[in-house]
Amino acid sequence: MTVPLTLASASPRRKELLSQLWPSFAVIPADIDETPHVGEQPRAHVTRLAQEKALTVSALHPHTLVLAADTIVVARGEILGKPENDQDAFTMLGLLSGQEHQVMTAISVAFTDKVFSQCVETQVWFRPLSNADITEYWATGEPADKAGAYGIQGLGGRFVERINGSYSAVVGLPLVETEHLLQQAQQTLVKQYSGELGERGIID
């Protein structure tokens, strides 16, 4: 039995990755405040955002599984979001240059008020970057909408010496963990609500 799925993200990268796991799904981006809470640790922050995104869309579309994800880059304990301008990107990439950092991607699957979540952490090592490297990369436009001001699946991949963990999580959606979480959520919900869902025509 299959429960319909909605992706609560406008990211084309997440949509492309999810299509490897699920044949068809709706896309309804979630609009939430992503400002970190005072004193909030990175793992708690990214997990909260994924949960809020999933629950926000699920509240409006209660008869579907809702998958949401959020990705942050953490360097020296500092959460790096999307750069606001070239100077911001220069600062972020300077922090990453020649150093190890963490990429945390949290995934959440919601159905009405129930939510299943997991956070996947990957270590990433950058080669040293020159000022020219950073200037030229910013000019491509790629860093502007990327957490940490780079995209490993794009031109920013040439800065990455190696990773330890999930490549797809760095891109934005950890495939192994997402598949497992969707299966877990679907099995749990079908077991608990199979009669009700069948009557509503939600499962087949």
For the annotated catalytic residues, the residue numbers are 70
With beta carbons less than 8 A apart as the criterion, state whether 105 and 69 touch: yes
Alpha-carbon distance 78 to 81, whole Å? Answer: 10
**Torsion angles phi and psi, residue 78, rounded to 5:** -100, 130
- 100 pairs with which residues across the strands? 125
What single letter denotes the amino acid at residue 112?
T
What is the rounded distance in angstroms from the CA atom of residue 145 to the CA atom of residue 185?
Answer: 31
DSSP secondary structure of 123-152: EEEEPP--HHHHHHHHHTSGGGGSGGG--T
